[in-house]
Amino acid sequence: MTVHIHLDDVELDYPILSQSSRRLGRQLINVATGGQLDRSEQGRITVRALTDITLRLEVGDRVGLIGHNGSGKSTLLKLLGGIYRPTSGTVSRAGVVGSLLDISLGMSPDATGRENIFLRGALQGMSRSEIARLVPGIIEFSELGDFIELPMRTYSSGMLLRLAFSVATVLSPDILLMDEWLSVGDEAFQSKAEARLHEVVSRTSILVIASHSANLISGQCNRVLYLDHGRLIADGPPAEVLPMYFAAPPEPQ
């Protein structure tokens, strides 16, 4: 089956479970959140995070997600990645999903750099033998040298990010999800990382990237989805959609 993600009439409600949510109720409804707060029949409060989304993402789509904070970009990314399931409507997805959302998640400060490559690699869905095959390349790219045998708590934050980046970008998923562009390390490493990231993006069949940067989206994407209060209000080429948001961004309510 060809790689695709199809959403049909998707709605997604978030339950709000904190005790204090009872008291929030009305006051919050029109405050600067994107979602609309609602009470279900049992008196539970839910946030309508996505409303009425119908969408066809096909091979070759380079999709930029734009919208205010809270407009549903992250929720949509998680829905596309299969982390959330819609409250109603259908999602059909073919292809392996990879994400560059939180690239150091799961790394342990007490494990050595090398062990962390295996940990992180396993979480990314790679088999042990596959990771073992890639380890030399990852170590070389990260420029950690002998530090790779030391516990990660001895690393500077730059070293840590270089390692996480080097592991995350050996992936070659069919569908790649990103929240803003990744940029790590000092200047020398940055240009190398930039090239690497472009390779990853070019290998993937569908790219979805949420961003607040018009430059990034016009450079990387051939299609832009504009979300506002959980609704898809525009879907088209960057030249058409970007001005709608960046020229005169509507005030958050």
CA nearest 79: which of 216, 238, 230?
230
Between helices 157-168 and 128-142, what is the axis angle to 10°? 130
Report if residue 249 touches another protein, rule: CB under 8 A.
no
* Closer by beta carbon to another protein, 144 or else 171: 171
Total residue count of the chain as it appears in this document: 253
CA 152 to CA 149: how far, in whole Å? Answer: 9
Looking at residues 139 to 178 of the shown chain, list those that interact with another protein (rule: CB under 8 A): 151, 170-173
- The residue (of 87 and 218) whose beta carbon lies closer to another protein is 87
Question: How far is 140 from 167, CA to CA, in rounded Å?
Answer: 11
| Least spacing, CB of residue 172 vs another protein, in Å | 4
Residues near another protein (CB under 8 A), total: 44
Report in angstroms how near the CB of residue 99 gets to another protein at its nearest: 7
Concatenating the DSSP letter of every residue in 187-199 gives HHHHHHHHHHHHH
The two structure tokens encoding residue 37: 């707060």
Residue whose CB is less far from another protein, 9 or 199: 199
Query: Per the structure block, which two tokens stand in for 103?
Result: 């690239």
Please, which residue, 126 or 217, has the CB nearer to another protein?
126
How far is the C-alpha of 81 from the C-alpha of 102, rounded, in Å?
A: 13
Q: Give the residue with the Cβ less far from another protein, 22 or 133.
A: 133
Q: Which is nearer to another protein, 111 or 214 (CB)?
A: 111
Counting contacts by CB under 8 A, is residue 32 touching another protein?
no
Which residues inside 200-239 make contact with another protein, applying CB under 8 A? 203
123 binds another protein, rule: CB under 8 A: yes
Span 89-118, contacts to another protein by CB under 8 A: 96-99, 101-102, 105-106, 108, 110-111, 115, 118
Dump strand ranges (E) for 195-239: 206-210, 223-228, 231-236
Q: 18: how many CB neighbours lie within 10 A of its CB?
A: 8
Distance between terminal CA atoms of the chain?
42
3-state secondary structure of 203: helix
Token digits of residue 14 = 């978030």
Candidates 44, 192, 196, 231: give the one binding another protein (CB under 8 A).
196
Among 137, 219, 237, 249, which residue interacts with another protein (rule: CB under 8 A)? Answer: 137
- Whether 209 and 65 have beta carbons less than 8 Å apart is answered as yes
Question: What residue ranges bind another protein (CB under 8 A)?
Answer: 14-15, 17, 78, 81-85, 96-99, 101-102, 105-106, 108, 110-111, 115, 118-119, 121-128, 130-131, 133-134, 137, 151, 170-173, 196, 199, 203
